[in-house]
Structure 1
């Protein structure tokens, strides 16, 4: 049995630990709890205090995880600006996107003013940008973001959460949109369901993708090619 792939996966997970503030916080809280259990024998007050701090730390981390997971689905939308997570807003007018010869729908978009092409992927939970696009658009990894692992042709890679201040295509404008910086995408970018689910509707008619924001302006259409 070849154990090399297993050890490679373990090594990748270990290297990803310092990149996750939430994971480091959870490990630190559990360590404090273990220390409290040891100290409890000699100093009950200090031991209980350390275990209480450990429990409080784990509860706070769980709350942060729940808040961030809720942002991936518009049905559980929570805007928490004080935690550095702005409200995700998608508004504008109807936009139509013609089917490309490769069988996909591609958008000519702007990420914080930087032009980039995005493929619409209804199977993707989150919008994803390549490292090149992230660098050009000045997207910074979110501190304390949920660890994200992506399976690519080259194996499982670590992706980092980020936030797009302004994302435009056609007549649609999104603000505060969550995304991931995905090294496995190469030069590609993907629009995921966290944007599509915030539209009033989206459908395909005659090989044309029709995107209608909740604040759509009647009669305002912008074809995408």
Structure 2
């Protein structure tokens, strides 16, 4: 890697730092801890207090990161789906969803009245719900339905088809939506192209996902 390539890579990292609140907090906590160690040599009480505060802050950041990552790992059933998600808004007939700190778009929705967070995946053909959400929302496998095969982090598995009577978020409402009850994905839920294709339009501008329904509903 030459000097120019290295400098370009470093520049990209530097530009991304202000966009990540967790990264900024981590850098500040590390610097504060280092400063506290230095100050402690002369003003022991002040230095120790600063160093301890920054250490606690770093521990809190680590917990937040672990809970966010746990959304993607079915082995960790401790996920708090709403943790760290930016607030989606409705404006001018559009639902606007900011990019989350983990680099994905997450939609806060309700399924048959049950609140749940959904990862937007344009590579997924069908919307998928976790087994816990299916149980909470009263979703049943379709009678006489043939299980479909889906790819997960643990390989290809069978999943039952179901029908979501009402999926709502922002000013969007979808009824009679096909979905799969996906095992082995923990509490992760996915919005696929079968829902996005029902919209009048959807697009990404900067770090915001913009969804425009054909018939805007009152904001959920």
TM class, shorter-length:
0.5 to 0.7
Q: What is the CA deviation profile of residues 31-82 of structure 1, one whole-angstrom value per residue up to 9, with x for unaligned ones?
A: xxxxxxxxxxxxxxxxxxxxxxxxxxxxxxxxxxxxxxxxxxxxxxxxxxxx
**Counterpart residue number, 1:23:** none
Q: TM-score, normalised by structure 2?
A: 0.55
- Aligned mates of 1:152, 1:119 — CA distance in 2: 14
Gaps of 5+ in 2: 1-92
Structure 2 counterpart SS, 1:95: strand
Q: CA deviation at 1:184?
A: 2.6
1:157 aligns with 2:157: yes
Task: Report the number of matched residues.
Answer: 128
**Counterpart residue number, 2:17:** none
**Counterpart residue number, 1:113:** 113
- Aligned mates of 2:207, 2:175 — CA distance in 1: 28
Structure 1 counterpart SS, 2:165: strand
- Aligned mates of 1:151, 1:177 — CA distance in 2: 20
1:170 aligns with 2:170: yes
**Counterpart residue number, 2:123:** 123
Q: CA deviation at 1:206?
A: 1.9
Q: CA deviation at 1:180?
A: 0.3
Structure 2 counterpart SS, 1:116: strand
**Structure with greater contact order relative to length (CA < 8 Å, sep ≥ 6):** 1
Structure 2 counterpart SS, 1:185: coil
Give the aligned CA root-mean-square deviation in angstroms. 1.7
Residues 203-214 of structure 1: pairs in structure 2 closer than 5 A: 203-214=203-214
Residues 71-82 of structure 1: pairs in structure 2 closer than 5 A: none
Q: CA deviation at 1:185?
A: 1.7
Structure 2 counterpart SS, 1:199: coil
Q: What is the CA deviation profile of residues 169-216 of structure 1, one whole-angstrom value per residue up to 9, with x for unaligned ones?
A: 111111111100000321100000000001000000121000001123
